[in-house]
Amino acid sequence: MTTQGIGAALRRKEDRRFLLGKGSYTDDVTLPNQSYAVFVRSMYAHAKINKVDATAALAAPGVLAVLTGDDVAADNLGGIPCGWLVKSKDGSNMVEPPHPALAQGVARHVGDPIAMVIATSKAAARAAAGLVEIDYEPLPAVGRLADATAPGAPLVWDAAQGNVCFDWHLGDAATTDAAFASAAHVVKLDLTNSRVAPNAMEPRAANGSYDTAGDSYTLYTTSQNPHLIRLLMAAFTLHVPEHKLRVIAPDVGGGFGSKIFHYAEELLVTWASRRVGRPVKWTCERSEAFATDAHGRDHISHAELALDAHGKFLGLRVQTLANMGAYLSTFAPAVPTYLYGTLLSGPYDFPAIYAEVKAIFTHTVAVDAYRGAGRPEATYLLERLVDKAARQLGIDRIELRRKNLIRADQFPYQTQVALQYDIGDYHATLDLALQAIDHAGYEKRKAASAARGKLRGFGISTYIEACGIAPSALVGALGARAGLYEAATIRVHPTGSVSVFTGTHSHGQGHETTFAQLVAEKLGVSTDNVDVVHGDTDRIPFGMGTYGSRSAAVGGSAIVKALDKIIDKGKKIAAHLLEASPGDVEFVDGSYRVVGTDKAKAFGEVAFAAYVPHNYPIDTVEPGLEESAFYDPKNFTFPGGTHLVEVEIDPETGVVEVVDVAISDDVGVIINPMIVDGQAHGGLAQGIGQALYEEVRYDAEGQLTNGTYMDYCMPRAADLPNFKVGNHVTACTHNPIGVKGVGEVGAIGVPPAVINAVLDALHPLGVTDISMPATPEKVWRAIQAAKAAGQTAGKGA
């Protein structure tokens, strides 16, 4: 009986190498004859490029090449493709503009790469990059979503009139209109979801090399899905057969979504390595990352909620503008549609929903998936709206939610926005979180805060997310240009140790531990004897990588399927060794036993027999013990829960302190509670970051005004309280583990809880709205404005 299987809080196997500083990241890879690339990037948000003069740069010491958009065109490199086609409500395809790897004739955002300087050292490349002369002709630009649809706004693409990429809708407009017509109350809210930068600890990097003997390429890259990168490069950008390109994503220091996408730099270093006859390495600078990593969120929405006289939800109407940036990144169109519109029912029982989403081009870097991707935006909108409704109707916020949450007996629950939730118990997670934060004692704590001159606020968010992306047929019908299954190979070695080859990629999520726990659970093998291999297209089966909190639910299920095949094959071998019929043999606690007897063979003995088949059922069973499986899920999984926050605000300075956070999530059957807690902690930190500190700002002309850590504020440990993390488990009904996803829950649930807490604290002063991030300045100004309005009203009366 193993104590290392599902449910064991094992420390992460991978921590040994990370804590010893022995991780091997892309920038750690230095190949013989290594050369280095530095990119010359547009300083304008929109400009015609009349000429790129590389004469001086080419003459500089150590320079091997300066490559431009003309070279990219001459070598017929393909443009960076978009992986998801969204159609507008009139049936037309989205506007899908070209995306050359190096700008050709026009630059469309600050940071758009124009030239690539390659030299024998990084310093030489950097020095020479300063010598590349670009003759720009600045053009009018639009840097902000709010301005991009105004009549006469500068166009990013002529083909996209009004800068509209697509105009999509979901739900039933007529039913929703009827619901609003019959409503006793209608609550309206305008809100923005701020733009954030992912800021993984390791910046992006890529190292490409060409092997003349094999006429093949190797690319080391900071990627969450090496096979997808290989597929896109083989089919669309580099144009080489897949077997001529090996993509390795070694240790990756965080991604949070931003490393899913195929970026120009990984294509360019690979292509250039053949031209210069040396490996070419590029490592992003931090300020370069702010300007070139895909950002997240950036929505402007108008939402309306219809309620009956008793506070029961009747309908929801949403109009959203979603920023795409200047080019379409790999999954960008899917984020504000199939990961947002489909989530607008949240955990609530809504009879009618209608959502319209316009995707808008601006002269900014691309916006794509960032931890949560669409689901935080849906949750933020709903939870702010529900709080506003409670206030407007004079109903307690918790009671209004309780009244409208989908009940446990309503599952499977078909929403009005396409998704069918398989299982959950939202009332249970709500009660658990309320207990954890001691909601009963809140008024006492509020009085104590007041005695210290502080305003205390309580914030709540009940949320749902869809993850474990997802059935290939469904996403295909919705416009995905890839399948979204997962693959695994289990190789049992002769002495019974096991290697797991997975198509998912771990870049901080602890797969080397949790996937080993699945092996321990199924085979009874110690996790010390399990090795998890990922991130190398030459070693792992074709898989779709890691995003959308899919690795446990989809990748883990593929592993379990392959383990079941191993167990079945082992049973035949064991039956032969035990001189029994396979039907009489069971596999329990790591041993094959003849049912009802004490005759048994340990798993290791069976594995040995498979590789030394002297006494073996050779006519019916092949030697060896290695099995593969592909797993395409039947549905998404639907984690959900309640996030509660208490804040204290200093009314003199506007500083908001998060003093308590209690969350209760349902992430299905838990493989490793310590890792699940850690994942929740990380997501919470990022969610609180967005709510209080972080925002990428472009000015009206598209200049990035806060692209450094001097200007872009990230949360630090001292800004966060100890989190109280609880779980209530309902097992996913359609995967073999019963697991749902946990990687994004914190970032999804907590931002509205923080803002709702801030507004709760400020409400007595007359503040009714505040946008993310609730910085001290913004809070202070809101307090002053409310005070001034109160004084004016007082005078008027």
Total of residues contacting ligand MCN (CB under 6 A): 36
Q: Is the separation of the CB atoms in 416 and 350 below 8 Å? A: yes
Q: Which CB atom, from 648 or from 744, has the smaller least distance to ligand MCN?
A: 744
Q: For ligand MCN, which residue of 274, 511, 534, 561 counts as binding (CB under 6 A)?
A: 511
Assess 13 for contact with ligand MCN (CB under 6 A).
no
Q: For ligand MCN, which residue of 527, 551, 557, 635 counts as binding (CB under 6 A)?
A: 551
Draw the binding track, 189-208, toward ligand MCN (x: CB under 6 A; -: no contact): -----------x--------
CA dist., res. 701 & res. 240, Å (int): 39
CA dist., res. 26 & res. 209, Å (int): 13
Cα–chain center distance at 275: 35
Assess 775 for contact with ligand MCN (CB under 6 A).
no
Q: Which CB atom, from 508 or from 604, has the smaller least distance to ligand MCN?
A: 508
Q: Is the separation of the CB atoms in 482 and 228 below 8 Å? A: yes
Q: For ligand MCN, which residue of 549, 557, 635, 730 counts as binding (CB under 6 A)?
A: 549
CB of residue 679 vs ligand MCN: minimum separation in angstroms?
5
Identify residues 241-260 at the interface with ligand MCN (CB under 6 A): 254-257
- 3-state secondary structure (DSSP) of residue 417: coil
Strand partners of residue 704: 698
**Among the residue ranges 293-301, 346-354, 358-366, 661-669, the one whose residues contact ligand MCN (CB under 6 A):** 661-669
CA dist., res. 204 & res. 222, Å (int): 6
Q: Which CB atom, from 256 or from 331, has the smaller least distance to ligand MCN?
A: 256
- Taking residue 618's Cβ as centre, other Cβ atoms within 10 Å add up to 11
Assess 687 for contact with ligand MCN (CB under 6 A).
no
Assess 502 for contact with ligand MCN (CB under 6 A).
no
Q: Is the separation of the CB atoms in 574 and 606 below 8 Å? A: yes
Q: Which CB atom, from 63 or from 200, has the smaller least distance to ligand MCN?
A: 200
CB of residue 523 vs ligand MCN: minimum separation in angstroms?
17
Assess 540 for contact with ligand MCN (CB under 6 A).
no
Question: Which DSSP category does 554 fall into?
Answer: I
Assess 509 for contact with ligand MCN (CB under 6 A).
yes
DSSP 638-676: --EEEEEEEEEE-TTT--EEEEEEEEEEE-BS-S-HHHH
Length of the chain: 797
- Cα angle for residues 64, 69, 70 (degrees, 5° grid): 85
Closest residue by beta carbon to ligand MCN = 508
Q: Which CB atom, from 237 or from 551, has the smaller least distance to ligand MCN?
A: 551
Return the CA Rg of the chain: 28
Q: Which CB atom, from 348 or from 485, has the smaller least distance to ligand MCN?
A: 485
- Cα angle for residues 265, 267, 273 (degrees, 5° grid): 100
Assess 751 for contact with ligand MCN (CB under 6 A).
no
Cα dihedral 57, 61, 65, 70 in deg (nearest 10): 10
Q: For ligand MCN, which residue of 547, 608, 631, 698 counts as binding (CB under 6 A)?
A: 547
Two structure tokens written together for 719: 């800004």
Q: Is 349 exposed, middle or buried (0-12, 13-18, 19+ CB in 10 A)?
A: middle
Assess 520 for contact with ligand MCN (CB under 6 A).
no
Two structure tokens written together for 447: 């009085």
Q: Which CB atom, from 63 or from 661, has the smaller least distance to ligand MCN?
A: 661
Cα–chain center distance at 11: 24
Q: Which ranges of 315-374 does DSSP label H, i.e. alpha helix?
A: none
Q: Which residues contact 496 (CB under 8 A, 6 or more apart)?
A: 525, 529, 602, 603, 604, 607, 608
Q: For ligand MCN, which residue of 320, 404, 461, 514 counts as binding (CB under 6 A)?
A: 514
Q: Which CB atom, from 566 or from 739, has the smaller least distance to ligand MCN?
A: 739
Q: Which CB atom, from 200 or from 335, has the smaller least distance to ligand MCN?
A: 200
Q: Which CB atom, from 333 or from 508, has the smaller least distance to ligand MCN?
A: 508
**Among the residue ranges 177-185, 301-309, 504-512, 692-700, the one whose residues contact ligand MCN (CB under 6 A):** 504-512
Assess 631 for contact with ligand MCN (CB under 6 A).
no
**Helix, strand, coil tally for the chain in percent (to 5):** 35, 25, 40
CA dist., res. 354 & res. 315, Å (int): 8
Q: For ligand MCN, which residue of 510, 689, 702, 773 counts as binding (CB under 6 A)?
A: 510
**Among the residue ranges 114-122, 313-321, 487-495, 502-510, the one whose residues contact ligand MCN (CB under 6 A):** 502-510
- Cα angle for residues 133, 135, 141 (degrees, 5° grid): 125
Q: For ligand MCN, which residue of 381, 475, 675, 680 counts as binding (CB under 6 A)?
A: 675
Q: For ligand MCN, which residue of 292, 329, 672, 756 counts as binding (CB under 6 A)?
A: 672
CA dist., res. 552 & res. 559, Å (int): 9
Q: Which CB atom, from 371 or from 593, has the smaller least distance to ligand MCN?
A: 371
CB of residue 353 vs ligand MCN: minimum separation in angstroms?
25
- Interface residue list for ligand MCN (CB under 6 A): 200, 254-257, 371, 507-511, 514, 546-553, 667-672, 675-676, 679, 682, 739-744
